[in-house]
Amino acid sequence: MTPPILTTAAVSSPAAVHAYSGMDRARALLELATVVPQHDVGDFHLAAIREWGESIESKDTYTFGHCERVAQNAVAVARALGLSESEQTSIRMGAHLHDVGKVNVPSEILNKPGALTAAELAVIHMHPVWGEQLLSAAHLPWDLKPMIRWHHERYDGTGYPDKLRGDEIPRSAQIVGLADVYDALTIQRPYRLAMTPAQAIAEISKCRSAWSPRVFQAFLESLPALSRNSRFH
| Cβ–Cβ under 8 Å, residues 58 and 15 | yes
Q: Which CATH superfamily is domain 63-229 in?
A: Hypothetical protein af1432 (1.10.3210.10)
Looking at residue 104, what is its pLDDT?
85
DSSP string, 166-217: GGGS-HHHHHHHHHHHHHHHTS-BTTBPPPPHHHHHHHHHHTGGGS-HHHHH
| Annotated catalytic residue 112 | no
Active-site residue among 59, 102, 145, 206?
102
Looking at residue 47, what is its pLDDT?
65
CB-count exposure of residue 208 (10 Å: 0-12, 13-18, 19+) = middle
Q: What pTM value is reported for the model?
A: 0.78
Q: Give 194's contacts (C-beta < 8 A, 6+ positions apart).
A: 185, 186, 187, 188, 231
* Ranges of the chain whose pLDDT falls below 70: 1-64, 139, 227-233
